[in-house]
């Protein structure tokens, strides 16, 4: 009987560790700039069609568009407020214009400026999860037509210039 209990306990630990491991692997999925654009525009469509219900869906860190480092965050540019950030919910309600990157740049100001011009890409310095060294992160900014919301997502990428990213995503 004792051996059965120990085997069952070992099995439960193994299954639990497999789940934790697979969640960690999911977090490491590499997302391309093209996927960022697609996901941000899908999120914008969800907000446009479902309103506040869509916002609640996007706040879920496990929602399918919140992939790896490319989680969806939403800004109210008129009020300069972070409306939703599933990875860092403590930032919800905060003033985006006060956010600094690791180099001391007010990237939130640039984010709002790009949103008011119709959207596009910005770059700033941010550490990858689990590190303390700042590296280039790019974020795609897309205002939702007819709403106060701007949808954003970013990835770590040092291969494409902002001009290339904006051309690829149809921003002039």
CATH no. for residue 158?
3.30.450.20
Rounded mean pLDDT, 63-83:
93
Q: What percent of the chain has pLDDT over 70?
A: 83
Claim to verify: residue 69 and residue 125 sit in the same structural domain: yes
The closest of 170, 171, 167, 165 to 32, measured between CA atoms, is 165
Q: Are 101 and 134 in contact (CB under 8 A)?
A: yes
| Cα–Cα dist 101/121, whole Å | 15
How far is it, in rounded angstroms, from Cα 105 to Cα 120? 18
pLDDT value of position 2 = 58
- 103 and 155 fall within a common domain: yes
Q: Are residues 20 and 71 in the same domain?
A: no
> Are 2 and 67 found together in one domain?
no
Does residue 95 share a domain with residue 70?
yes
> Does 55 share its domain with 5?
no
> What's the gap between Cα 47 and its chain centre?
16
7: pLDDT strictly greater than 50: no
pLDDT value of residue 22? 41
pLDDT score of 98 more than 50: yes
Identify whether residues 14 and 66 lie together within a single domain.
no
Domain count along the chain = 2
pTM for the structure as a whole: 0.80
- Residues 26 and 51 grouped into a single domain: no
* CA distances for 114 relative to 21, 31, 169, angstroms: 38, 22, 14
How many CB atoms lie under 10 A from the CB of residue 37?
20
Question: 122-151: per-residue pLDDT in tens?
Answer: 999 999 888 999 999 999 999 999 999 999
- Whether residue 110 sits in one domain with residue 39: yes
Q: Are residues 21 and 11 in the same domain?
A: yes
Most confident of 1-5, 26-30, 89-93: 89-93
* Segments forming the whole domain that contains residue 44: 31-168
- Do 57 and 25 lie in one domain? The reply is no
59 and 95 share one domain: yes
Predicted local distance difference test score (pLDDT) of residue 69: 81
- pLDDT band of residue 24 (cuts 50, 70, 90) is very low
- State the Cα–Cα distance between residues 69 and 160, nearest whole angstrom: 17
């Amino acid at each position: 009987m004792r051996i059965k209990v120990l085997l069952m306990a070992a099995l439960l630990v193994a299954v639990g560790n497999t789940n934790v491991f697979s969640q960690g692997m999911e977090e490491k999925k590499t997302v391309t700039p093209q996927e960022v654009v697609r996901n941000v525009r899908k999120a914008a469509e969800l907000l446009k069609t479902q309103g506040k219900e869509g916002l609640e869906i996007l706040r879920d860190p496990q929602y399918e568009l919140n992939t790896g480092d490319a989680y969806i965050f939403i800004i109210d540019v008129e009020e300069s407020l972070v409306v939703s950030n599933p990875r860092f919910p403590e930032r919800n309600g905060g003033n985006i214009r006060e956010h600094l990157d690791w180099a001391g740049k007010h990237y939130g100001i640039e984010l709002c400026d790009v949103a008011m011009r119709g959207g596009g890409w910005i770059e700033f310095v941010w550490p990858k999860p689990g590190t303390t060294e700042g590296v280039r992160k790019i974020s795609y900014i897309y205002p939702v037509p007819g709403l106060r919301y701007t949808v954003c997502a970013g990835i770590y990428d040092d291969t494409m210039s902002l001009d290339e990213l904006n051309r690829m995503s149809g921003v002039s």
